[in-house]
Amino acid sequence: MAKTTDHLGRPVVAVTGLGVVTSLGAGMTENWAALTAGKSGIHPITRFPIDHLKTQIAGTVDFLPSSNLGMAALTYEMAEMAGREAIAQAGIGSDFGGPLFLAAPPVELSWQERLALYRQDDALTGYGRLLAVARKAGPSALFEAAQFGTVADRLADAFGTRGLPITTSTACASGATAIQLGVEAIRRGECDRAISIGADGSATAEALIRFSLLSALSTQNDMPEKASKPFSKDRDGFVLAEGSAALVFESLESALARGARVLGILRGCGEKSDDFHRTRSKPDGSPAIAAVKAALLDAGMSEDEIGYVNAHGTSTPENDKMEHLSLSTVFGARIKSVPVSSNKSMIGHTLSAAGAVEAAFSLMTMLEGVLPPTINYDVPDPAIDLDVVPNVKRSADVSAVLSNSFGFGGQNACLVMAREPV
Amino acid sequence: MSPRDVVITGIGLVSCLGEGAEAHWQAFMAPVVPPVTDSTRFPPYTIHALPEIDWGLQIPKRGDQRQMETWQRLGVYAAGLALDDSGIKGDAGLCATMDMIVAAGGGERDEEVDANILEASLSRNDTEILLNEKLTTDLRPTLFLAQLSNLMAGNISIVHNVTGSSRTFMGEESAGISAVETAAARLRAGTSSHVLVGGAFQTEHPDMLLGYELDGHLQHGAWEPLWHRSAEGGGVISGSGAAFLVLETREHAVARGRTPYAIIDRVASSRTNRAPGALAAGIGRLLDALAAPGGDRLVISGASGAIDATAAELSALEGSAFRGISALIGHVKEAEFPFAIALAALAISRGAALPALDNMVETPFDGAPDAVLATTVGYYRGEGAALIRKA
């Protein structure tokens, strides 16, 4: 009989359901097959014209009914798909019965919506006209799309979650934060189960341009599938992407009591913010190091027990260098023999969803005994001496994984997951 | 009394009434009704505008100020006031272990760039290419960071060195409700010892008004009393404002010799179906969940003025001495709940109730309150309430 409380006497948190959507496809089966085959989901952008854009590639999710309906609609659809998959796998019916934690991008009216409003009148200019049109038209369907609480509200209705759902944004660490919120709710005994979803369908022209103006994106447009190359010497930025993942968490006690299949254990969460700069990390890497250490401490584990690192690995010059610095500081010389791979080499950077997507893949890594590769690793960066599982998947018996997420605004969040309860 | 009681030891407020806990207490104790508002900048809308603020008092580096627009500056400024008030500001050890939960919407878009694109779109068929053309050349690179929701927290980390953890919640008033509820739960569970929690809303940008008006929520014309706005428009008169609280466990506050304003005894939240007639009962259940002491009770309400939600709250609060604070500061969205809690805590620590702001419906409350309810009913969705007690 597994112990159902952890080293601090808190309920052990089990994962009983996973769901995922990325540019590689819908559903875990399709995604896992593509990911372990080293297939890239990065492609030329077709959603909007690429004239004048330095970056013309992305990992957009183009195969859904909402793919061209704007950020709010696509984020919702992907979140719902991933959520349904996870809840079905967990064997929970249509009334979920626990809280919802959603990581999602900040919303605003799309340009298509702004332009359409503007064309409805010819008095006034600029925002004055938009307001006049809104005033005359009365309640509009556009309202919901620009409310930050809408996606979570609709998901709460769709799944029958309890209470006021929480929508979080910690930039590119959002998915990990949503997971941490779910884990904490169960540990506090507020609920027996929770669902955490990360979803991001925000790859609009304006979003791409904003990241591009910060020089954050790869401009290697010629071979899109080769552009995301974490830890390579010729990496030049991340590839903007979309996706979603959902994780159903339950207290181990409750999961065992209802005979649910336990897919893994969320052992520890750690976070630490950085006050150095809005987009760059403190040069000594101390906040990221502290986040990794905090996750291990929370898990009650030592770094020696970690068998694989699912890296943040964005493929930006800055991130990969700093992530290597943090990992080598925490793991010491052993880091050279711990496999570290980046899912983003294949799916790009799914932003608000990334932490959740990569946590889901981390759990699959342990369940399947297969390390997904870091593809496009043709020109190793000599300054980053890591076993990145280059280009080809590898079989490995992994019992514990560290997953890193770092974001603009000094956000650092790390998760430690294990295959078995202690 | 428990060492894990959630005590309030710092309050940072900014609104049209001024800045700081003391200025707000004075303004609410001697309310000017109708309040000073601005009906000229965004006609036909009336707003409660920010007072003049010397940003340098809380954001000393000009470079930091330049990286932000008003919304982020406002949050960073109010956070600084709360940190000052709690004696944590500048204490490197306390700031480095302090957790933070910020309730945020989004920052300001570039009004001029948007207006140019909108106008140019009328003479072009290839509007998507126009967008690429204009946005790649006209957007300021740093504006993106000034718009990002989590960069209010990011800037608080940079300016005030609060670096324990940083979480941003989104979702209008509900974000502020969940931020306080989560912060209090973490303190009680021992996962935080001291937390900075709050939010800001900057209404002096047409895009922020558009957010309400797409569903017809804004009041048109001059200011009217909060609880009975129905003449024209949807009842909301928005305001620019911010509210940050320093919350800590009782043992943490005692250990560093701080006298709390009050304790947050309980927080409850809900997502009531807004079908006609359902909300008043939902608010009633929410208040019941707090198990507030019976008898006369003082309620600091964050009612938005939105017609349906405010009417439902009015009916649910019948029999209580309630005060609708948005009458004086305007609807401050994400900051509404922390703002209401701050005023409830002040009423307790000063041993006096705020006087009625609207003699038609708000009734007197005599004596010193031992427990005060703070409520926030979202103008469109989400409700929250807290029971604030004497420490």
Torsion angles phi and psi, residue A259, rounded to 5: 70, 25
In a domain, B119, yes or no: no
Coarse DSSP helix, strand, coil percentages of chain A, rounded to the nearest 5 percent: 35, 20, 40
Instruction: Return the DSSP state at B331.
Output: B
User: Domain containing B208 — which CATH number?
Assistant: 3.40.47.10
Query: Between residues 158 and 197 of chain A, which touch chain B (CB distance below 8 Å)?
Result: 163-171, 174, 177, 181, 184, 187-188, 190
ipTM above 0.85, yes or no: yes
* Mean pLDDT, residues A5-23: 98
**Could you confirm whether A312 is annotated as catalytic?**
yes
* Mean pLDDT, residues A73-87: 98
Whole-model pTM?
0.98
pLDDT value at B211 more than 70? yes
Helix (H, G, I), strand (E, B) or coil at B225: coil
pLDDT digits (tens, 9 = 90+) for B171-210: 999 999 999 999 999 999 999 999 999 999 999 999 999 9
Question: Annotated catalytic residue: which of A191, A312, A324, A414?
Answer: A312
pLDDT value at B294 more than 80? no
User: Across the interface, which of B149, B171, B269 has its CB nearest the CB of A149?
Assistant: B171
User: Across the interface, which of B109, B150, B210 has its CB nearest the CB of A134?
Assistant: B210
Q: Given this model, what pLDDT does residue B338 score? A: 99
Q: Given this model, what pLDDT does residue A251 score? A: 98
Query: Between residues 65 and 94 of chain B, which touch chain A (CB distance below 8 Å)?
Result: 67
Q: How confident is the model at residue A196 (pLDDT cuts 50, 70, 90)?
A: very high
Query: Between residues 364 and 383 of chain B, which touch chain A (CB distance below 8 Å)?
Result: 378, 380-383
* Mean pLDDT, residues A59-86: 97
* Mean pLDDT, residues B323-327: 98
Q: How confident is the model at residue A5 (pLDDT cuts 50, 70, 90)?
A: very high
Contact between B153 and A111 using a beta-carbon 8 Å cutoff: no
Q: How many CB pairs under 8 A join A and B?
A: 241
Element at A288 (helix H, strand E) = helix A286-299
pLDDT digits (tens, 9 = 90+) for A305-332: 999 999 999 999 999 999 999 999 999 9
Q: Which two tokens stand for residue B92?
A: 């490197």
Q: Given this model, what pLDDT does residue A33 score? A: 98
Helix (H, G, I), strand (E, B) or coil at A362: helix
- What residues pair up with A268 in beta bridges, in sequence order? A416
pLDDT value at A422 more than 80? no
In a domain, B122, yes or no: no
Tell me which chain B residue has its CA closest to the CA of residue A207. B144
Q: Given this model, what pLDDT does residue A287 score? A: 98
| CA angle, residues A194, B185, A303, in degrees to nearest 5 | 70
Query: Which is it for the CA torsion A388, A393, A395, A397, positive or negative?
Result: positive
Question: Per CATH, the architecture of A13-107+147-415 is what?
Answer: 3-Layer(aba) Sandwich (3.40)
Tell me which chain A residue has its CA closest to the CA of residue B123. A119
In a domain, B158, yes or no: yes
Q: Given this model, what pLDDT does residue B230 score? A: 78
Q: What is the mean pLDDT of chain B?
A: 97
* Mean pLDDT, residues B218-230: 94
**AA letter at A86:** A
Domain residue ranges in chain A: 13-107+147-415, 112-144
- Distances from the Cα of A134 to the Cα of A129, A143, A148, B219, B378, angstroms: 9, 10, 19, 13, 21
In a domain, B117, yes or no: no
- Max CA pair span of chain A: 73
Selection from A311, A310, A319 nearest residue A218 by Cα: A319
Question: Annotated catalytic residue: which of A269, A324, A349, A414?
Answer: A349
User: Across the interface, which of B44, B131, B154 has its CB nearest the CB of A408?
Assistant: B154
| Residue whose token pair is 């409750």 | A254
* Mean pLDDT, residues A236-242: 98
* Mean pLDDT, residues A1-16: 94
Structural domains counted in chain B:
1
pLDDT value at B287 more than 80? yes
Q: Which of A278, A406, A414 to mutate to test the interface with B (most CBs of B within 10 A)?
A: A278
**AA letter at A174:** S
User: Across the interface, which of A106, A152, A181 has its CB nearest the CB of B149?
Assistant: A106
**Distance between CA A326 and CA A286 in Å, rounded?**
7
* Mean pLDDT, residues A242-249: 99
| CA angle, residues B217, B224, B104, in degrees to nearest 5 | 45
Domain region containing B233 = 6-107+148-389
Residue A140 contacts B where some CB pair is shorter than 8 Å: yes
pLDDT digits (tens, 9 = 90+) for B34-73: 999 999 999 999 999 999 999 999 999 999 999 999 999 9
Assess whether the previous peptide bond of B355 is cis (omega < 30° from 0). no
Query: Between residues 143 and 162 of chain A, which touch chain B (CB distance below 8 Å)?
Result: 143, 146-149, 152-153, 156
Q: Given this model, what pLDDT does residue B296 score? A: 82
User: Across the interface, which of A48, A164, A169 has its CB nearest the CB of B150?
Assistant: A169
Q: Given this model, what pLDDT does residue B293 score? A: 80
Q: Given this model, what pLDDT does residue A8 score? A: 97
Q: Which residues contact A246 (CB under 8 A, 6 or more apart)?
A: A17, A18, A19, A20, A79, A82, A83, A85, A86, A87, A195, A196, A197, A198, A356, A360
* Mean pLDDT, residues B77-88: 98
C-alpha Rg value of chain B to the nearest Å: 20
In a domain, B287, yes or no: yes
Distance, CA of B351 to chain centre: 23
Q: Given this model, what pLDDT does residue A397 score? A: 98
Percentage, residues of chain A above pLDDT 90: 98
Q: Which two tokens stand for residue B93?
A: 């050890």
* Mean pLDDT, residues A403-414: 97
pLDDT value at A1 more than 70? no
Percentage, residues of chain A above pLDDT 70: 100
Contact between A109 and B210 using a beta-carbon 8 Å cutoff: yes
Residue A118 contacts B where some CB pair is shorter than 8 Å: yes
